[in-house]
Each structure stands twice: as structure tokens, then as C-alpha cells.
Structure 1
């Protein structure tokens, strides 16, 4: 292991996507991530295509670089085992509501008693100081709560609709990984652990409103909310003679070049609507209509050649299938075809960042349920006899170790 978080141990009590995505990032960065699962396993294990039960594609892409241990936390023996893991851990991260952790007697105060240096991280729906504190939260609900479907309709969709990605889960997962890294740095400097809460609603509200608060930023307001360029219904992949193309002309130089390409080189000087970025933003609909009208005059390949020759921003429109064959991703080694110990040949995605030192690496492929229960419990001081008793009581589940 050579990642920058080598030597950090994380007790990961998260399930589904948001928390597991965060801890996979931390695991790829070198942390020893112990995934604590209930006897039934993480529910996302069986979501989508799979060769074997409990090992679906979405699970494989959010749970590598981890070890799996099963603990029934409703049993005293299971809770005791969790406490023994937490006693030697640097981080405990969970994504159920804090009220559920309190019912298990696994709140921050309970954990800090046995390990005052621990970073205790909650990743859940809503901050605990408001009326939504006890509400359940899922990606779709949070997208709706921060107006993403309404923005889609304002931008031209027939009806409000969610983004076709678990966007809130993954964005908040990134925020949680950042919080863990910063919390560890603070502890390194001060020696002090602490509780950190990363609420979905507030995190996503900041994400969306950073673009769209607009004139409502000021008191009193000086204009409407909404970023006009992003909301314009012509802000979309544009039809060419034979397909679609993604273009974005933004600064003065790019718009000047575009106007020259379409035979109006003096338009920025003759039309005050297009003279500055501020005026162009006010009249973005007219500009985008102009671009949309001219794109069908050439093929996609012809536009790419012309625009790239002028060093102007352009990108082909991928589908998921064509993205998997993208030549750039192939050249940088983004996709790795690996042999999973139980699932056979799978396509894995590399760690996207590159480091001149302490390079992250994928330490393990996603584990089977309880694959590392025996090993992790042994590290926590349990004897072979003790582990067998835990398994017999149902407080843990053992799976054969992969060799």
C-alpha cells in the first residue's frame, strides 16, 4: 500500500451508495476500510446485473479497497465487537439517521468514551438543528428538495425530472471524503478527535444555489434567481447535419472566432448585445439560437475539424456505450480489465487522480458478504473460539477467505 492515507483505519457503517462511494475513495487513497454490514448485507449488493447473488455491478463500483465484516448490532455481542473495532480506529463513518445510532448506543459520546481521538462522521439527510432532522432521505428526495427537477423544467424539459444519475449521493459522498481528510489533518495537528456531520440537504443546497441564487444573493434582491445561461433551453447538445455536438463559446475570443466562422466577424462591435460577457449573458437565448441554427449546415466531423483548428471548445456527444470505448480514456488507462476472485473478469475504473508520490492504488476488489469477518475479529483480539461463538449466535457471519 502506498496511498497517502496508508495507516489510517476506517470503520465504515455505511450502505447503499453515498457513504460507500466516500469510503471507496478513502480506501483507494490507502486507508484500511472495514465495511461493517448487517447479516442481510448492504442492500445495493443485489441491485442490477450480477453473476452471483450479492455482487451486482453497482456494488462492485462502490466497494473496492475494503474488507467486509458482518455484525448484528442489535445483539449485545455484535455491538461489543463494533466497539472493539472503534477503539483502535481513526474514523467511524455512518449514514443512518443519528437517532438510529443513538438507539444502538453508538452515538458520538458512546464512541468517544472508548476512543477520544476518533473522527466520528455522520453522512445523512438533514442537519439536526431544523424541522427536517428526523426525516428519511434518498437521492431522488434530495434532488427534489434542492430544486433540480424544477430547474430541468425551467431549462426546457416537458416535466420536472430528476437528473439521470444518483447525483446527490455521489456529490455528498465526495463532500464526506473531503470532510474525513480534513478532520484527519486537524487531528494530526491537534491530537483531537471530533464529531463531523455532513447533511445531504445543506450540501446539495449549497451546490445548486452557488449557480442559481443570482440576484437573490443581495439584500434587497437586485434581480431574479437562476443563472440564465445554464437555464436557457438551447443549452443542450446541438443537431448537426448527421448527429449531435457539444459546443461552448464563452469568452470574447471564442465568440469572435465563432462569428467569423459564420460570416459575421464584426458582430461583437456592431451589436451591443454581444459586446461583453455581461451583455451576452443577458441575451444568451439569442446567441444560443444563432448557434443552434448554424450547426445543421455541417456534419459533426466537419464542425469538430473546424472548431478544433481554431482552438475552440468542442466535444462529441457520447452515449454510455460509446463512452466505454473513448480513445482518451483508453490512452490514460482509465478502464482496467481485472480478474475478480469470485466474479470473473470485470471492467474496473482506475483512481482518476495521479500523484508523483504516494500514488493511490486499488488494494482489493469488492468483497463478498462477511469475507473478512474472521480476520478483522482476530485483529480486534477475538480468539478462534470466540469467533466461532459469535458466528453460532448470529452476531457475525463468516465467509471463506479468498486466496
Structure 2
């Protein structure tokens, strides 16, 4: 089984999280992904803990199914290698700051002359233009500047650091893949490639889907705990008597009635329909008092058979063991290369024709250098010369 993207061949110059998560999705769906890695400047993801048998678990996951070519892009001979690769690989993914690839002789304008069908995807924090284009940043900064942190948090304590990298993944990775595949479809019609400029801040700004629409059209500025879905209503998390948490999303009247009846307080259901902040505040207090009368296990049993949009807040261990997770096969076994496997998160996309089985974990640096160069027609002697000159590893 090859997968729906088996016809795509991608050169991946990215490191850390946004680009690698994007190319992981592509590789899982069958694309051939070749990582171009620096032999002198290590991808910090390779050393990020925790480690499994001396290998970063994050790197092993994010770079599975990809090959690795260790190539020093600062060496003039590196351009020769990339130029030859472009005859076969017609999609390029990079994550450097604007101007870096141009200085290396690998900018879009230079490379599209070699291959006019080239689709060139640049993922950066702030984009290729604007006063912040050269500014350093991380996920928390992109969320702050996109306005998202201003209404995600608690009124008495402010914004809350998320447990995931929303700007990196939802902003950079997912939008990057969407744009890349759109460019592939456009190329099928025109025969021409193009440059895709993905700003993680731009993309995460668009995730202000309802709050942003309300502000731009109506001037309603969202704040902490003053919107229906950010803690300003009963839609929230509730502590149990043993210090665990339950999520309540009983927005529709039928679900609210089911919630209140299960807790033995059917009279509270009418308050759930009120838009008045004071009514919502009183309802939240009443619901919290009821949840605190029960322990976590009791509440899980209580709501397991009730369709009320009430679910337990699970640890990762519990989430993996959950029957829905088991049924959906969210976890897979990935070959290490020594006959054993590592447990990893599976590709979440389900195709009726299926996907190829995972081929291998993230490869060691330069694991496929000889294989790739040999396929390009480089002789053993020439490969040895490049290695001696430290162009490749």
C-alpha cells in the first residue's frame, strides 16, 4: 500500500516542530520525504527529553518515515547536490528566517529556474514581509500577538500557557499542509509551481474564528471569562471532591436537562438558557457544588450512559487506554530497525483505502546520505570526497 500522496516527493529543510509535523503528515500519507539536515548545527529536537534507548521520543515520532541526508548548505558543493535533487523532488519545505535560503543560493526565485514546477513552502513566525519578519519568536509569542491569549485564560490570573503548541501545529503545520496540497492541485492545471508564505501568527490569528468575527463585524472585544466558550458561561471544567476534573459542554437544552437531572438538580436547567452573566455565574457555582459532592470515578460512571456532553478530563495514560482510543487505533507500533518497535501516536486520518504501515522511526543524522547521493549518480569516490570536505556526513 502506497498511500494517497505516494506521487509527492518532498525536500524538508525544517527543524524542531512546525515543519517536521507538516512533513510527518505528508510522509504518513505516503509522500517520500527527504530531510536535509546540517551536519554542524544539530536539530535540537534530537536531544529533547524524554529519551527512549538514548533517542528523543519526540524526534523518533515527528520524523518517522523520513530519510535523512546530512548536507552542509554553507559549502558551495551543497548547491550541486540540491540542484540535482530538484530534478526529482519538486516540493520544498523550509523554516528558516526570511532571507536565509536566498543567501545560501536556495531561494525560490533561483530554484524555480531549475524546476518551474517547484512548490516552495516557507513556514515562519511572522511571514516573509512586514516589520516583524526578521524577529525571533516562539509559540507563546505568536498566540499573544494574534490576540488569542487575550481571551484564553482566567479573569483573576490572566492568560494560561497551553499544553500544546497551537501556533506551531495548527498555525504552521496544518495550514502549511493545506496550502501545499492546494498548490499541488493548482500545478496539475497550470504545470507551474509557486511559493507559499505561511506565517504562524497570521494562521493562528484566523483561529479566532468566532471571537475575531464578533470583534471585526460588531466591535465586541472578547476578554477572559466573558464569552460563552471561554469560561463566561457554565461551559467549563468542574472539580470533583477528589481533585479531578470533569468537562461540561451541555450547551443545547436537551443536554442541559440531562446534566441537571443526573446531578439531581433539574430546576437548574432553565438557568442554562439565560444569557445574563449573573445567571451564568450562579449556575456555575451551583454546578460546582454538585460536582464536589462526588468523586471522579463516581461521576465517570454516572455520565457514561448519559448523552449530556459531559466527559472526564483524562491523563494521557487514561486517554490511550480509553475504549474510543482503542477502537480508533490512535496508537501504532513503529519499527526501530533492530526488530523491535516503539509505541507512537498513529496518523489520525482514516482513508477507506487505508494507509501504509509505519516504516521506521526518525532516522539518525545522515543515515541515508550514501543511498541518496548514489541514486543521484554520485560515484563512491565523489561521495568520499564530499565527506572528506565535510560537505556531507
TM-score of the two chains, using structure 1 as the length reference? 0.87
Bigger drift between 306-315 and 65-74 goes to: 306-315
Which residue in 2 is equivalent to 1:144? Answer: 144
Which residue in 2 is equivalent to 1:183? Answer: 183
Size of the aligned set, in residue pairs, is 387
Distance 1:135 1:382, change over 3 A: same
Task: Please report how far the alpha carbon of residue 124 of structure 1 lies from its aligned counterpart in structure 2 after TM superposition.
Answer: 0.7
Q: Deviations over 1:76-118 (max 9, x none)?
A: 1112211211232120010001211111111111110000001
**CA distance in 2: counterparts of 1:123 and 1:66, whole angstroms:** 19
User: Do structure 1's residue 357 and structure 2's residue 353 form an aligned pair?
Assistant: yes
* Preserved CA contact (<8 Å) 1:124 1:137: no
Task: Please report how far the alpha carbon of residue 58 of structure 1 lies from its aligned counterpart in structure 2 after TM superposition.
Answer: 1.1
Task: Please report how far the alpha carbon of residue 343 of structure 1 lies from its aligned counterpart in structure 2 after TM superposition.
Answer: 10
Task: Please report how far the alpha carbon of residue 9 of structure 1 lies from its aligned counterpart in structure 2 after TM superposition.
Answer: 0.5
Bigger drift between 104-113 and 352-361 goes to: 352-361
Which residue in 2 is equivalent to 1:170? Answer: 169
User: Do structure 1's residue 103 and structure 2's residue 103 form an aligned pair?
Assistant: yes
Bigger drift between 14-23 and 383-392 goes to: 383-392
User: Do structure 1's residue 225 and structure 2's residue 216 form an aligned pair?
Assistant: no
**CA distance in 2: counterparts of 1:180 and 1:111, whole angstroms:** 17
Task: Please report how far the alpha carbon of residue 167 of structure 1 lies from its aligned counterpart in structure 2 after TM superposition.
Answer: 2.3
Which residue in 1 is equivalent to 2:309? Answer: 313
Which residue in 2 is equivalent to 1:210? Answer: 209
User: Do structure 1's residue 302 and structure 2's residue 298 form an aligned pair?
Assistant: yes
Which residue in 1 is equivalent to 2:387? Answer: 391
Distance 1:165 1:342, change over 3 A: farther
Which residue in 1 is equivalent to 2:245? Answer: 244
**CA distance in 2: counterparts of 1:340 and 1:8, whole angstroms:** 25
**CA distance in 2: counterparts of 1:274 and 1:325, whole angstroms:** 33
**CA distance in 2: counterparts of 1:162 and 1:297, whole angstroms:** 30
**SS of equivalent to 1:113:** helix
Task: Please report how far the alpha carbon of residue 305 of structure 1 lies from its aligned counterpart in structure 2 after TM superposition.
Answer: 3.5
* Preserved CA contact (<8 Å) 2:268 2:283: no
**CA distance in 2: counterparts of 1:169 and 1:241, whole angstroms:** 36
**CA distance in 1: counterparts of 2:209 and 2:3, whole angstroms:** 32
Bigger drift between 353-362 and 30-39 goes to: 353-362
Distance 1:288 1:217, change over 3 A: farther
Which residue in 1 is equivalent to 2:46? Answer: 45
* Preserved CA contact (<8 Å) 1:13 1:35: yes
336, 342, 345: which one aligns with 1:346: 342
Structure 1 alignment gaps of length 5 or more = 398-403
Distance 1:189 1:297, change over 3 A: same
**CA distance in 1: counterparts of 2:209 and 2:100, whole angstroms:** 32
Q: Deviations over 1:184-203 (max 9, x none)?
A: 11112222211111111101
**SS of equivalent to 1:61:** helix
Bigger drift between 308-317 and 55-64 goes to: 308-317
**CA distance in 2: counterparts of 1:326 and 1:391, whole angstroms:** 49
**CA distance in 2: counterparts of 1:262 and 1:160, whole angstroms:** 31
* Preserved CA contact (<8 Å) 1:304 1:314: no
**CA distance in 1: counterparts of 2:217 and 2:344, whole angstroms:** 46
Which residue in 1 is equivalent to 2:76? Answer: 76
**SS of equivalent to 2:197:** strand
Q: Deviations over 1:246-270 (max 9, x none)?
A: 22211121123334445554666xx
* Preserved CA contact (<8 Å) 2:333 2:342: yes
RMSD (CA atoms): 2.5
* Preserved CA contact (<8 Å) 2:2 2:30: yes
**SS of equivalent to 2:86:** helix
* Preserved CA contact (<8 Å) 1:88 1:115: no
Task: Please report how far the alpha carbon of residue 314 of structure 1 lies from its aligned counterpart in structure 2 after TM superposition.
Answer: 2.1
User: Do structure 1's residue 381 and structure 2's residue 381 form an aligned pair?
Assistant: no
